[in-house]
Structure 1
Amino acid sequence: MAQATVPATAATPAITPISLKAIAPWAVFFGVLMLILLYFVGAEQGATSLLSGETVHEWVHDGRHLLGFPCH
């Protein structure tokens, strides 16, 4: 039985690691973004309200219950 061989022209692409210096700004950006989202879902319209009214509370109401934050 003959074995199939890979032609010499079909080279596998080299995998280069991404440096921590390249990832760090994006990690910080998304970390801050997640903290802001967590604030608006968990604490906005509470004791530390930044915005007046009930609009933000109504937008994130179901997400608040899904994540276990009390709101009533």
Structure 2
Amino acid sequence: MRSIPEATWYKSSYSGGSGGDCLEVAPDGTTAIPVRDSKNPHGPELLFRADAWTVFVDDLKASPAYR
């Protein structure tokens, strides 16, 4: 498990308050973007290359389910 103590974590504004499936992201990095499960903030974190994260987010935004 990797911990990024200096990261500032953000949860999506689309996340409900019911404690459902939510991710948190810490987009402070320039080369790697850490992502974690908001229900388990001390659990494992995934690191995405910044360019891969941008492509992922852009694809989500283009999805009809996002609108």
TM-score range, shorter chain: under 0.3
Quick one: higher RCO (CA 8 Å, sep 6+), 1 or 2?
A: 2
After TM superposition, the score normalised by the length of structure 2 is 0.26
**Structure (1 or 2) with the greater helix fraction:** 1
TM-score by length of 1: 0.24
Computing the radius of gyration over CA atoms, which structure comes out larger, 1 or 2? 1
